[in-house]
Chain A
């Protein structure tokens, strides 16, 4: 039985184009660029950009999501190729990014009181930000899922969910160019679409990325 299969598999064997992890990083870069161009073209840069560029919160917001995307990308590459080791440093770095966010929110709560936090979370345009992050996140999501399909994820739902987190984070970083809300508690409106993209990624992983 096996010998017949070996004959079939060997017959007509052609050289293959290797899948490289750098293609994943390139696609993430392209996804981010398209999302950023889309945000600027469709919504424009935030109106107070002249003032915002002098505030550390402008860079903090973009940096937070870029850092999260980079950390999770390290995990995606480990789950996309059989036999790759999950490097704990990526997980630790991701935890550090989230811890930094919690610390900043905590600092705000301590210095300005819980009312300020609630006000930060309930600023107007939350649903608009939610929808925008989700929609612009679909661009990197498609690019990264197509790469994952060509790769061989040994845990497709998890790989899909992680791709969702990367896509949402890249989209959030791009959308931060437009969004004038800098309060750290407002990050909830960014993390909700990221969670939604992660859930969608898990479903895609389960249904489409199995091999």
Chain B
């Protein structure tokens, strides 16, 4: 059985060699890191995300390998990068699930528009949003335009449009639940 202390010294030495351009040492290090990262993320994320996260972390290690000081222990450096990528992943997943949740919880606005009473309710809710947000929601959810088309129509970037839709839907959900409670 290998001594973990020796293993870490070995990794440190491989990293120093990789920084000098040694492909063989780098390949050995990355293979060892893939196993270590899998174990690291297995305790932190859903099984389906482990492989993606391992790859993201390996790319980050590759891109930032020049920031490792070869006279210092390697593990704190590696652990900090693995942790940073994990936090980043959690942030992205939380954001994505919020959007999915909003889509699931909010009824399909276009379908509601078919019903005269519901259409009035939708318009009432939209009227409570700032004009530019209401316009973006109308284009996206009622007229079912693409992000590109909305970006062109409103003069905002696509990413800004996505953020606006996300925020507006959130506001609409809050407004709708207030009206339900009233």
Interface size on A, residues (CB 8 A): 26
Nearest residue (CB) in B for A85 is: B76
Q: Across the interface, which residues of B come within 8 angstroms of A18, CB to CB?
A: 19, 66-70
Q: Across the interface, which residues of A come within 8 angstroms of B60, CB to CB?
A: 152, 211
Q: Across the interface, which residues of B come within 8 angstroms of A9, CB to CB?
A: 26, 30, 58-59, 62
Which one, B77-85, B93-101, B136-144, B167-175, is touching chain A? Answer: B77-85
* Bitwise interface map of A from 1 to 33 toward B, beta carbon under 8 Å scored 1, else 0: 111011001110111111110000000000000
B21–A82 touching, CB < 8 Å: no
Chain B proximity of A87: nearest CB distance (Å) = 14
> Interface range on chain B: under 10, 10 to 19, 20 to 34, or 35 or more?
35 or more
Q: Across the interface, which residues of B come within 8 angstroms of A132, CB to CB?
A: none
Interface centre among A11, A19, A83 (most CB of B within 10 A): A83
Interface status of A81 (Cβ within 8 A of chain B):
yes
A83–B23 touching, CB < 8 Å: no
Chain B proximity of A85: nearest CB distance (Å) = 8
Chain A proximity of B51: nearest CB distance (Å) = 6
A204-B62 Cα distance, complex, nearest whole Å: 24
B1-40: which residues lie under 8 A (CB-CB) from chain A? Answer: 18-23, 26-27, 30-31, 34
A36-B18 Cα distance, complex, nearest whole Å: 41
A83–B58 touching, CB < 8 Å: no
Contact of A82 among B54, B84, B88 (CB under 8 A): B84
Known: A5-B55, A10-B23, A152-B81. A19 touches B34 (CB 8 A): no
A-B contact pairs, 15 of them (CB 8 A): A2-B34, A2-B54, A5-B58, A9-B62, A13-B18, A14-B21, A15-B19, A15-B21, A18-B68, A82-B67, A151-B67, A152-B64, A154-B81, A154-B83, A211-B60
